[in-house]
Structure 1
Amino acid sequence: MSVSGDPISSALGVIQVVMEYAGSVAFAISGAVAAGRKKMDLVGVVVLACIVAVGGGTMRDLLLGEFPVFWVDNPTFLLVGAVTALIVVPLTRTRALDLLHRYQIVQVSDAAGMALFVVVGTNVAIAAGADSVAAAIIGVISGVGGGIIRDVLANDVPDVFRSGQFYATAAFIGAGVYVLLLEFDLDRIVVFWVPIVIILAIRLGTLFLGWGVPTFRYGAPPTEPIPTPPPPRPDGTE
């Protein structure tokens, strides 16, 4: 998606930057909260929040061989993660975080940030020369990678794999729609916003309507050893 100096491109650029920072704040909050649940110290809270804030973009750049990664050139994203973590810590003593969770404000912001990062990551991959399938996969990784890193470092099974919600699925659909729309000579606004709206709609349907995918439940193994048949008798009878 080319960017020129016209007003539409400028407006899209401003909106993209605002949403990137909003998504980084939401991801950083989730990382700080996860660190608090694991009773990490202040350093652990800040580190985990920063990793979540930049994790998806870092994985994207590493897969594309883009060095240095984006936050080395623009460390503001790391600063946003650190400041957010330091704000979250005292807020845990108030009802502010409870209200955010009650109205799922963090989850909605996370969905918006993830939707944007998927589109931006896919576009960056295409600009780097990746084909459509690889670009879509890299876009998904860019959107969900931070959350996966957060859960792994917090010693949890990543939510994207176990919650039964449309998370990675929404990202895959949005990335697929984006690369499909690029094949047509459509307006940049359409190409940019349609995948974001689709991802948001699916994620909000999961959050507020309970949409999801079936979860695999394997029964617990038997508590008693499985009996083995007796050895055959020498005369051949059992």
Structure 2
Amino acid sequence: MSVQLLLIFDFIGTVAFAISGAITGIHKKMDILGVNILAIVTACGGGLMRDIVMGNFPPQMFVNPFYVLVAAIVANIVFLIMYFHKSVPLKYSGVYDRGLFIFDTLGLAAFMVDGVMIGVNFGYEDDLFLLTFLGFLTGVGGGVLRDILSVQMPAIFVKHVYALPVIIGGIIMVMLHEIMNTWDTAMVCSFAFVIILRAMARHFRWNLPKVKF
């Protein structure tokens, strides 16, 4: 079951981050090519960085471009919807921010699971630090690249404990597997944890400490 479940999480993460990247590109007034590139980078960038760390060459997005195609299709759908409904962002304040938060959260949670499982499939099931790092990198990597390309401070450094739930979620996922000896339950529970913690952070306005001048 783990393989099928992992494919589901892969698809959820790709679609969610592609929407996130497309929304950001449209908000930054990019043309349709820019929106497509940003969506693909957001959806596939974390996996690309993970594969480089793992020495998996060429990275999977170039060997099997299925998820690149999915990201491009999603980006064009979002672009066309926004193109023919230009008044939506103007009529409803906060649509951009809420949409970005929702799809970022889904992408973070799904790709955190994906990153941990890639490490497991490479034979590092007992390396808690590496598995957690791979989940972290896969989860946040695409969003960081998206923010850099759209010339804004990466959300990982400033918003709603962006990265912390991914780190904790990765640890929980590995620990649950140790306790219950099943990856399926560990994957679902850690996925839900990341979403719940990010939702609570947004609702209660939790942020990590900063130095204020």
When normalised by structure 1's length, the TM-score is: 0.77
Identity %: 31
Query: Which residue in the other structure is 2:182 paired with?
Result: 187
Moved more, 140-149 or 104-113: 104-113
Query: Which residue in the other structure is 2:114 paired with?
Result: 120
Amino acid in the other structure paired with 2:20 = S
Query: Which residue in the other structure is 1:64 paired with?
Result: 54
User: What are the within-5 Å matches in structure 2 for residues 36-75 of structure 1?
Assistant: 36-75=26-65
The aligned length equals: 207
* 1:142 equivalenced with 2:117 (yes/no): no
Task: Give the aligned CA root-mean-square deviation in angstroms.
Answer: 2.4
Query: Which residue in the other structure is 1:200 paired with?
Result: 195
Amino acid in the other structure paired with 1:169 = L
Distance of 1:112 and 1:46 partners within structure 2: 20
State the SS of the aligned residue for 1:68: coil
The verdict on how the C-alpha distance between 1:154 and 1:111 changes in structure 2, with shifts beyond 3 A counting, is: same
Larger radius of gyration: 1
* 1:153 equivalenced with 2:149 (yes/no): yes
Distance of 2:88 and 2:10 partners within structure 1: 23
Query: Which residue in the other structure is 1:167 paired with?
Result: 162
- Structure 2: 5+ residue stretches without partners: none
CA contact (8 A) 2:177 2:183 kept: no
Runs of 4+ in 1 over 6 A off after TM superposition: 97-100
Amino acid in the other structure paired with 2:60 = F
* 1:85 equivalenced with 2:80 (yes/no): no
The verdict on how the C-alpha distance between 1:129 and 1:187 changes in structure 2, with shifts beyond 3 A counting, is: closer
Amino acid in the other structure paired with 1:198 = F
Amino acid in the other structure paired with 1:139 = G
- Structure 1: 5+ residue stretches without partners: 1-8, 220-238
Bigger relative contact order, structure 1 or 2 (CA pairs below 8 A, ≥6 apart): 2
Displacement of 1:171 in angstroms is 0.3
Amino acid in the other structure paired with 1:147 = G
Displacement of 1:73 in angstroms is 2.9
Distance of 2:32 and 2:64 partners within structure 1: 24
State the SS of the aligned residue for 2:152: coil
